[in-house]
Structure 1
Amino acid sequence: MAKNEAEDPLLEEAVGSSLRSSRSNALMKRRYRHSKSVSPAEQNLQLQHPDSITDNKLDPKLVLLILLSYITAGALCFFLVRYQIKGNKTNGVIDAIYLCVVTMTTVGYGDLVPDSTMSKLLACIFVFVGMALVGLLLSKAVDDIVENQEVFLVRVMHLRDKCEMLKEVETNKVKYKFLTVLIALAMFMIAGTLFLYQKEGLDFFDAVYCVCSTITTLGYGDKSFSTAGGRVFASFWILMSTICLAQFFYSLAELYTERRRKLLVRWVMSRKLTPSDLEAADLDHDKAVSAAEFVVYKLKEMGKICEEDVAMVMEWFKILDVDHSGTLTKTDIPSTS
């Protein structure tokens, strides 16, 4: 009993501290909560010293610089071999940029195609580099942008104060991410349809058809951007809309997974305990389950942590417990001064 009384206040103190700081640090904690590559000591340091955190997310400015460098290099190469490319041409520079974008996004309308060994080799190189760039860099940058828009979406929908909005986003992160991406995708589709209808002279149905075949990278080529202005617009629109669609399907899958997870949590918290549950929850085998042991057992049952996570933390605890007392005190922690 004494042991349980010693453990429970520690648990209550940790929970209380977490609740007090959850509103101000909700978005910061979310970035590290699911990271399996960060050690417990590093996570504790990050939460105690948020100003010293090195964000592992990509800097959008760096992504933009890499993207511009890629498109500039690709456009320059395609411009140099412009006479080895056949199709419906408008302006040499615009066509080169346009061909680079439709190549990197794998849209491939077919209105401009390589017609020599050199130009085909360039196309092969740039399509692989472009796919890697979209997959590894741009999708992460777009995800950061979407994350930053979640608070704005909550503000529009609920008009709550800052702390309420942070808490709402933290609780329903996946849902608001899905809604944000869905709204962005709809806006891109509407913009592309209106541009093709008004500027490219397509009828409304063909404009919708061209938008759908483009953002899915199907690119039949029977309908495409044929004017110089249209290709300037397409160079930006194709890039963003195809990435947005990929984010939409990812968010949809994430939303489904989150729903299943919440159902599992509800089932775990509502089912009746059995003697075998108490036996499994008794980590120290003292024939009694403390609050801390119960929390760990339920988290394992919900799938939030696994046996390996518990073993790793316990090993870390044993290392810190230099006097082998079974508890941690200030004397176990070396002074940093």
Structure 2
Amino acid sequence: MWRDSPSRNRNARTPAVARVMSGFYRRRLPNSPEDVARRYVSHLFDPITVKLHRRRWRIAKSSYSVLLATDEPHYDLARLTRSAALVADTLLLTHGAEMPYREAGRFTRTRIGLDPGSNSSGPEAIDLTVMDTYTYGFAGPPLKEIGRFLTGSEPLARSGNLCYLPRYSSTMIAYESRDRTGSTTHGPDLPRTARYAPDFLLRDRRAVSESTATPQRSRFVRLVTEVRLPVIAGVSLATFSRITVEEFGGHRLLRGHVQDRIAELDGAMAADEADRGILRIGREIEAGIGEARSRIAGADRSGALPRSAVLTSVTAALFAVHAPMMRDALHALGLGAGADCFWTYFRHWPENGPRASEDDTWCYMWVLSPTAERA
């Protein structure tokens, strides 16, 4: 029932992520997880402009399913990657601003300037050799944890299925200037931060989250479908990534099938008989996931999976959330607030307020159970 549609605009840009991620893994990774994380941050960002490096900017044009609940203590990159692998478009993982700052390195730039106290720009002006020192890093868990995740998820990242985009920041901690007499001055702190993930969520309108709670349904929060997602446990993240990419081409086709159905939801939500359209699309998604579950179970019976592999499943519900409400929640709470905070915000959002009718677009959020059960 799956079809690999070449006309799908969303997946057409996924190779850009694969190229950028493959560029990082092309060189042999350091033995130290901390050094892996440091290299990754340097690979993506320029500490002076606080933007993606010129050859990395294309990942900003790719489409993503953005992961929420990024500051909660139980947040586990590896577990969420396993659970969301079947249904998320290219999965964008990040952390919110409330996480501790982790310094990844320092950078010194030498440049030639003029004496800021001089009123002349002619030959009599004093030339200065200025050395700017920057510290750069990101908000998130310890470097060791990020490095281990990047190492284990290499096959998924190389194939463009996953991208970790840290909340990067750079601060000029000092500048040292020496004129012809050798005098020295020091400059102030000038922190700057790069922010991307919330913009991607509002642009692509795709999200993934974990929650044990169920949102209160309304005309602005609508359930599309609820399914049992198959998850391969009992193996390392590296083995899971390899299995997903190399041994089950059906993962890619199922993701395409799910994303095609979600793309159809925009039309269904605006139709006169919206309930009928939502029901049809939900059933088609359920059928596709059921077929994936059968394929994975068949591979397990045939011995294609490692002997340690255990087939489990998690409950996953797909909700359509009115885009103006999601936009307000993101501005008020940020990505790291957690799904439960979003549900509370949605419950108190004024349905009859002026924002309720400002547009008719929708965001689509997969809500996953944090606990898996034996299949």
Flag the structure with larger Rg: 1
User: Does the pair score TM above 0.5?
Assistant: no
The bucket for the TM-score relative to the shorter chain is under 0.3
Which structure has greater helix proportion?
1
TM-score by structure 2 length? 0.24
Bigger RCO (CA 8 Å, 6+ sep): 2
